[in-house]
Amino acid sequence: MSERRILLGNEAIARGVVESGCAVATAYPGTPSSEILPAIAAYSDEMGTNTQVEWGANEKVALEMAIGACYAGKRSCAVMKQVGLNVAADPFMSVAHQKLDGGLLVVVSDDPGCHASQDDQDSRSYASAAKIPCFDPSDAREAKAMVADAFDLADRYGIMAMLRPTVRVDHCRQDVEIIENVVSQRDAVFDRKPAGKRIVMPAVIHGFLDDHSARFEAIRGEFGAMDRYNFEVPSEEPANLGVIACGISYSVVRDILNRLGRKDVSILKIGTPVPLPVNLVEDFVDRHDRVLVLEETQPVVEGQIPNRTAVMGRWNGWVPKTGELVPEVVESVLLRALGVKEDLSDREVFNKIEEELSPERRRPRLCPGCSHRPAYFSIRKVFPDAVVASDIGCYGLAIAQNAVDTNICMGGSVTAASGIYLAFKADGKGTDRPIFATLGDSTFFHSGMTGLATAVYNRHAFVLVILDNRITAMTGGQDHPGTGDKMRSGEEGVSVSIEEAVKGCGVKWLSVLDPYDIEKNKKTIEKAWEHASSNGEPAVIVFRHPCITMLKVKPEYRPVKVDPSVCIGCGICIRDFNCPGLVWDQATGKAMVDDRYCVNCGVCVAVCPKGAIVPEGGDR
């Protein structure tokens, strides 16, 4: 029995994972992959598969749990985003060479164009480095089908396989066929023989390398025969151009050829870029005078083509070397390859419209009522000159209130603060300038704890501020060790105490505050730095207030207004507090409350140095 439903790409992948008989699925949330694991839980419940779903504290933890399940003979799967694969790179590379019993699938969502990421690395390069097969879907339907084939391949060869959707596949919504049949799960068995099979030691690994290489080549042959993912769409008229298209670029280029009505372009679609079915590609290149390669983000397929004399792509600059291949870019490249001049007349009109109407460009910033905003405001108020290292999460958006100075990667704020302290120390000015590290609750468990232990051990003087909003907010509200809640209702977790973890790392000065209470908190911030600088060790503040977008109980209703007779138009509330609920009134040159965005949290009363923001009273 089958049924058609509109699914998010990530839901289609999740459905495929459950239909494939995956017994254990793990993840750490990261856009664009975050919806996959919760959807696996939901489909597992719907279909009664008892699939175990767990958030790991980070991607390395998640992948290692999936590997363990695979060692015990189960099909298992770990999900992450491209940046998360760097965190999991250690187990990823190690397990790649092993001969596995269960089928192991790694789903890594890439983000070409950096919509929600600090880089746009291409995970196919990781697949290539690890010599594991990689599937590159072009839409939600294909992503779901590929999950089944990836598990099958992983099972048969005892190898880890990768599904690498990109953001436009993860976040496309498409009608997708779903089935009720499920590949039945095997019983968990841990076979201890042959001894040493799962032990990563040089003597053992040497025996694996040739075998691994042979498996990789055999899979290349299988990919060559997988004509559902690698196929030619021949041109209706004699071809003036051949296009090799991968992933979402295939879907995009098909729409563009239809739109332009061009029948003189043939397409070779490649859905399995690593290992590349080279014979197919060479044959296609041989039959065309010129070939354009469209792939995101790196020239992974292009680079594997032996003879590139007739090939146009990212290597030789025919295709922009960076960025997302959105339809506008693909059309422009395609027309150039076909020798057609683009019509750019409308572009001038749009520029003129922008000039006349100057629409506001809205960059992401902290939500109205967000508890991070007053926390940062208080730090900056007390120490305007402090160096504030931030981290990956919503709170990085406090850059809009000029509160954030650095941002590297998950957990990198703690260690950056250590480095900044050491730099000052090298000049003999260790504690002249206040140093703060800020990170969220989920990030603390992800990789903040190791940095904190290091800072305590080495006696680094800075204040670690844990912005605990009781959720992984940036990626849509996933639970983590600190919340203790699990994905399924009925499954009970345990909340791991941040305070106890901090104390366990050896921190002696710790304070838990409500960030909404700006006036009270200023003194404690001062004391924290006083302790850190005079004792030469980290002090920790936990700012605790639940995320405004995920409140389970209604917050206190504290509406405010700006008293225009008191407001002097200094702009501090707009610049330094930067809440979307407070806006500048051009006509009066004063601040005012924008009722479209204000959530009536009342926190901004403490922000105005003149007391112009006042409670309005009244009930909801």
Partner 1 sequence: MQIVIVGVGGQGILFSSKVLGEIALRRGEKVIGSEVHGMSQRGGSVISHFKSGDHFGPLVQSGDADVLLAFDTDEAIGNVSFLRSGGTLIVNCDDPARFETGTMGEYLRDKDIKVLSVDGYGILREKMGGRFLFLNVMILGALVASDSSGISMEDMASAVMDLSPERFRDDNIKALKLGFKR
- Show the binding pattern over residues 2-21: x = contacts partner 1 (CB under 8 A), - = does not: --xxx-x-------------
Minimal distance, residue 599 CB to partner 1, in Å = 10
Interface with partner 1 (CB under 8 A), residue from 344, 357, 494, 587: 357
Query: For residue 541, what are its two tokens?
Result: 């503040």
Minimal distance, residue 443 CB to partner 1, in Å = 15
Beta strand spans in 344-484 (E): 387-390, 406-407, 435-440, 463-468
The CA distance from 122 to 118, in Å, is 13
Question: Mapping DSSP to helix (H, G, I), strand (E, B) and coil, where does residue 531 land?
Answer: helix
The CA distance from 460 to 168, in Å, is 43
Q: Which stretch binds partner 1 (CB under 8 A): 67-75, 474-482, 584-592, 605-613?
A: 474-482
The CA distance from 84 to 104, in Å, is 17
Query: For residue 1, what are its two tokens?
Result: 């029995």
Interface with partner 1 (CB under 8 A), residue from 474, 498, 567, 608: 474
Backbone angles phi, psi at 497, to 5 degrees: -75, 125
Please state whether beta strands 2-8 and 24-27 pair in parallel, antiparallel, or not at all (unpaired). unpaired
Contacts with 77 (C-beta within 8 Å, 6 or more apart), sequence order: 17, 22, 24, 25, 26, 40, 66, 104, 105, 106, 107
Q: Which residues ranging from 104 to 123 are in contact with partner 1 (CB under 8 A)?
A: 115-116
The CA distance from 116 to 126, in Å, is 20
The CA distance from 223 to 216, in Å, is 10
Residue 417 host element (H or E): helix 412-426
Position 174 contacts partner 1 (CB under 8 A): yes
Cβ nearer to partner 1, comparing 193 with 596: 596
Query: For residue 606, what are its two tokens?
Result: 């403490």
Interface with partner 1 (CB under 8 A), residue from 85, 293, 394, 487: 394
Position 211 contacts partner 1 (CB under 8 A): no
Minimal distance, residue 282 CB to partner 1, in Å = 26
Cβ nearer to partner 1, comparing 20 with 475: 475
Interface with partner 1 (CB under 8 A), residue from 193, 341, 554, 596: 596
The CA distance from 572 to 102, in Å, is 59
Cβ nearer to partner 1, comparing 34 with 230: 34
Q: Which stretch binds partner 1 (CB under 8 A): 100-108, 322-330, 383-391, 584-592?
A: 322-330
70 is in an annotated binding site: no
Query: For residue 517, what are its two tokens?
Result: 């209470």
Position 79 contacts partner 1 (CB under 8 A): no
Residues found near partner 1 in the complex (CB under 8 A): 4-6, 8, 31-32, 34-35, 115-116, 138-140, 168, 171-175, 248, 250-252, 254-256, 259, 326-328, 331, 346, 349-350, 352-354, 356-357, 359-368, 394, 397, 474-476, 580, 595-597
Per the annotation, binding residues are 567, 570, 573, 579, 598, 601, 604, 608
Per the annotation, binding residues for [4Fe-4S] cluster are 567, 570, 573, 579, 598, 601, 604, 608
